[in-house]
Structure 1
């Protein structure tokens, strides 16, 4: 039985959906600060432990590509419940891992669950609030994207010396269990549909996107010719996926949306913003801990300052700047973020002056990043909830 759509998410529904949105994003930013500690504990180099970061994103990408098929086939409630359980299990395995292979495998499982969770949360929100309530729901479930970079590194940096890195992953288990308990009788029950699984689209999509992400993470460690060859092959396979998805009556990612230039442009900017923001989280953490020899809590505080700057920018974007054109706001945000990044990387020693420089630069980068990340999108790009409503409306039931 499907719950009738209301105009906004209830407090209890929000309490159920937010943990499964927040926890994966906190973990993805948390591990950047914990990486030196994890590598020491596992007895491996930082570059080896970084596989836990590199493998997470391709797994999440694969989960996103496959999520639409699973949502159609099994229903949103079942997919959300299953992925919440898998994420809790993977978090427990990360926290209990004693070897690098187990750590990397658990991170892959975490990433795959993360890829399924957000589409499931978005579809549940669309089912609950309907078209008229999508904008409010989007603002609510999009909040983790701003919170996670602020609190993930800060919590990790401050708490790692007090409780150890393992507890910071194991705590996901009771939180996920609480969300599952509260979800009873709250989430809509949408029956699965006997629709095509879309193997012909999913296989090239997963191979191409995972291959491209692997190439990006392996730049500098492989021969240039081999890197270019794999990148070219990945792009060709992604093109095959796009053509197959456009021709399919049951598209996986609804590639037809990218025919609109404003939507395609903003999505490209989102890709750049995501790469810049999450890439700098890792580089800053390693710079502070490895190059400057400071403890994890120092890196956590600086990244927390960056999150505070992003939060301040979000208030401006949702307030005085809400009617401004998104494109110049995003461009200005990227420039400001670049200035802040240069300021942090320019810190080559640790004293009173350079500490002040690092703090100010972190705030500046956060202001730029938040300005770019939270900018108001033009009407054709009002996010994945619109796409998912369109998708569910035209899928035969």
Structure 2
């Protein structure tokens, strides 16, 4: 009788209960806005640039600072949750994100919008990792795979629906509603969180690495500021931008030295010396720089050169998200079977094939051709990011996983910031070279196209093509770390029901 009861209870322990599904729904509801926001805003950038009379290198900060602020708070999640508690911190983070959304929608200048996007990013950065922590505690290790697959839904659907939602809002209402729409969704998530999220005990927590936070965040921000200023300066070697670039690099170097000596650094940089982790992080950085930059270029191309509406632009961007959705599951299964070293280079080659098509882009290329190329870019992204992250965790001990998760998330967001800033600078300089007197102003470019489309459209398309070639170089460079990923480690299969061993050796 006892054996029978045990057998009946054991399978139920692995079933997703109503309580866990409800918690997952609350976490997804709060998280989906922060992920959608990154894709929705890109479609609105041409409209924002015209309304605020901003240049390309200025308007890119609307995306860049969000990702940068997002990245800066991720390493603080573990420390802050122990001091404050996961539930109150999740609620506070969502409230800050909503406040940033409200203020961004009320922005009266491009400077105000950029400042409020920083507030949005600071609030949004902790929401997803805190939600994952809450679910991990509630679900336990036996149900983590299924629970995390639910949480991963926003990441898969955001690239598909984000551009369409953004295009529909901008095309039929004021751009301000791309921020205001977060408020009712956030209010519902807040109400549900207060009632349903479980409380966790507060702990003392270790000492915050405040110096590391200042050095890393300040260094990356200063470097990106210098990079953006290169787009405005008369020469790339102008003293101001060059000084900011060098200062930013110096601060990052000092951070690395500090992190190697500190007992509890903001990010454990020693992880990057591991072969698997270092190669995976480098792949994410280089490829992310290229593909996040491409996400900035495409809406600008479709709306400036082709004269499409924001909604039409959003619909044309669907193939990238669909490609990622199609590839990610297959890539995960292939990685389990053959290892990341065989899968990730194939993903890079797919992204490379898609980007090549945009390197030779013209003013009248058929949309089916551009959509097919974009599908390949998305498939490459789906077949690269997740398998490389899986390889990063292969040789780590359990105690190293939280630091590794923070480090990889920071790398991905920095890659996004770097990609948008870099390709914005290249595009603005390419446009100035192709069309003398046009200095990157989006409203000015739209006016030129309307006045003289026969001359301006091909020149602008050529400028975009030259910028896509820079993205192509970064995509190709991702092959180097991809080929350095470790081979699949074959291990004996654990007995049925036993937990898989976690390696505690270098990758």
How many residues are treated as equivalent by the alignment?
384
Q: CA deviation at 1:385?
A: 9.8
1:107 to 88, 102, 117: 117
Matched-pair contact (CA < 8 Å) for 2:323–2:377: yes
| Unpaired stretches in structure 1, ≥5 consecutive residues | 1-5, 392-397
The structural deviation recorded for 1:281 is 0.8
The 8 Å contact of residues 138 and 385 in structure 1, kept in 2 or not, is answered as no
Structure 1 match to 2:457: none
Matches within 5 A, 1:174-193: 174-183=184-193, 184-193=195-204
Question: TM-score scaled to structure 2, two decimals?
Answer: 0.68
**2:32 and 2:398 mapped to 1: Cα distance?**
18
Distance of 2:321 and 2:65 partners within structure 1: 25
Please list the CA deviations of residues 135-154 of structure 1 after superposition, one character each: whole Å capped at 9, or x if unmatched.
44444434433322222112
Q: 1:232 and 1:274, CA in 2 relative to 1: closer, same or farther beyond 3 A? A: same
1:73-128 superposed Cα distances (whole Å, 9 cap, x missing partner): 22222221111001011111122223222211111111222223233233333433
Structure 2: stretches of 5+ with no match in the other structure: 1-12, 406-507
Equivalence for 1:58:
68
Q: Verify the 8 A CA contact 2:324 2:383 in the aligned structure 1.
A: yes
| Cross-structure match for 1:270 | 284
Tell me which residue corresponds to 1:214.
Answer: 225
- Tell me if the contact between 1:347 and 1:354 (Cα under 8 Å) persists in the aligned partners: no
Distance 1:382 1:178 in 2: 38
Q: Distance in 1 between matches of 2:399 and 2:127?
A: 14
Which one of 7, 31, 56 corresponds to residue 41 of structure 2? Answer: 31
Counterparts in 2 of 1:216-231, with a 5 A limit?
216-222=227-233, 223-224=236-237, 226=239, 227-231=241-245
Partner of 2:418: none
Whole-angstrom CA distance in 2 between matches of 1:102 and 1:43: 14
> Given the two structures, how large is their TM-score scaled by the length of structure 1?
0.85
CA contact 1:146–1:370 (8 Å) conserved in 2: no
1:356 aligned onto 2:368: yes
Cα drift, residue 195 of structure 1 = 3.4
The residue that corresponds to 2:476 in the other structure is none
Sort the Cα spacing of 1:384 and 1:229 in 2 relative to 1 into closer, same or farther, 3 A.
farther
Q: Matches of 2:222 and 2:338 in 1, distance apart?
A: 37
- CA–CA distance in structure 2, aligned partners of residues 157 and 173 of structure 1: 19
* Distance change in 2, residues 1:213/1:49 (3 Å): closer
The C-alpha deviation readout for 1:6-65, integer Å capped at 9, x for no partner, is 866811111111133221121111111111112233344454333212322222232224
Comparing 237-246 and 216-225, the one that deviates more: 216-225
Relative to structure 1, the CA distance from residue 270 to residue 286 in structure 2 (aligned partners, 3 Å threshold; closer, same or farther) is same
Cα 1:358–1:267 change in 2 (3 A) is: same
Contact residue 218 and residue 248 of structure 2 kept, 8 A: yes
Question: Greater CA radius of gyration, 1 or 2?
Answer: 2
- Structure 2 residue 84 is the aligned partner of structure 1 residue 74: yes
Is the CA contact (8 Å cut-off) linking 2:87 and 2:197 kept in structure 1? no
SS in 2 for 1:224: coil
For 2:384, the equivalent position in structure 1 comes to: 372
CA RMSD of aligned residues (A): 3.0
Q: CA contact under 8 A between 2:160 and 2:317: conserved in structure 1?
A: yes
Superimposed CA distance per residue, residues 160-212 of structure 1 (whole angstroms, 9 cap, x where no aligned partner) = 21233222221111111111211223234231425323223222122123233
